[in-house]
Structure 1
């Protein structure tokens, strides 16, 4: 299975990935059928792909359950929150309000916090 075919299923929402010149891009497919914005994360290092596919699936489930982007930060664990920002027709998960630091480092840290086995 190639990178373009990799999918994670969360109900009727899939997460698909494609290699881009600036890194891996992941997108959800299926939220738009419910009139909701799809989620997208771009510029990811390929080694974070599996963890971020799981993150997008979890965030998509929250968006679907709320009937749209939840207000404020979305908590996936006690110490892991995401701010969903509109970018065209997509929602882009980023650091929570008040975050200071490097976004690339944050992207790595949230995967390790949510999925401790990802350390290796």
Structure 2
């Protein structure tokens, strides 16, 4: 038997043993990469969870800031409406009051 004359009979007497050796190698490789994946996911998962918590905190802060700004804007609109009503007279005052009333009804979900 020379070094160049080596032939392997996969369907012969030792074919099943070779298949089992191949399967064992596949299982070992899969288990290895599974462990590596579990380790990496534990590291990346923690980083992901920390980032999600940070973003949720930012969202809550933004919502609180938006709510405060909305309150200030509503108050400012009411001030400006008062100024417009105080500066208008006669028929113009009635038209302004009607427009303000209609705008408030529409803003509250009703229809005019």
More strand by share: 1
TM-score (normalised: structure 2): 0.20
Give 1 or 2: higher helix fraction: 2
Q: Larger relative contact order (C-alpha < 8 A, sep ≥ 6)?
A: 1
TM-score (norm 1): 0.19
Larger radius of gyration: 2
